[in-house]
Amino acid sequence: MDKKTLYKKAEKAMTHAFSAAKQSVKLMSEKAGEAAHVTKLLLEKAAVEHRVTKKFAQLGGLIYERALRQGRPASSADEDIQALIEETRKLDLELAQIEAELVEEKRQKSKA
């Protein structure tokens, strides 16, 4: 085999190896991006769940304060109670949206 043929074969092998390496890096980047996105969603979910828990605690505290300490009836018609219920409902919707995104991510991952 002459030097020219050897050089062409070596160049072809190196080009093929470089192409395979680029594909591997691209695939790893995509997988890392997917994992980062799922992690971000899980963190958002935990944060919203925490905020919902805090709203429930505020609501329970307000009702307890009114009903037991002040002797007043607590009603969902009270503006402050209604506001807490509405804030909790919005957080609940946000949580449902995040959970739907997580389900979609899992579905996409299982298709791949």
- 10 by Cβ neighbours in 10 Å (0-12 / 13-18 / 19+) ranks as exposed
Express each pLDDT in 62-91 by its tens digit.
Answer: 888 888 777 887 777 789 989 999 999 999
pLDDT tens digits, one per residue of 100-110:
999 998 888 78
* Nearby residues of 92 by Cβ (< 8 Å), 6 or more positions away: 52
Give pLDDT, residue 45.
92
pLDDT at residue 1 is higher than 70: no
Task: Kindly report the number of other CB atoms within 10 A of residue 67's CB atom.
Answer: 13
Given a cut of 70, whether residue 41 has pLDDT beyond it is: yes
Amino acid letter at 40?
Answer: K
* pLDDT range class, residue 32, cuts 50, 70, 90: confident
Q: Average pLDDT, stretch 13-25? A: 76
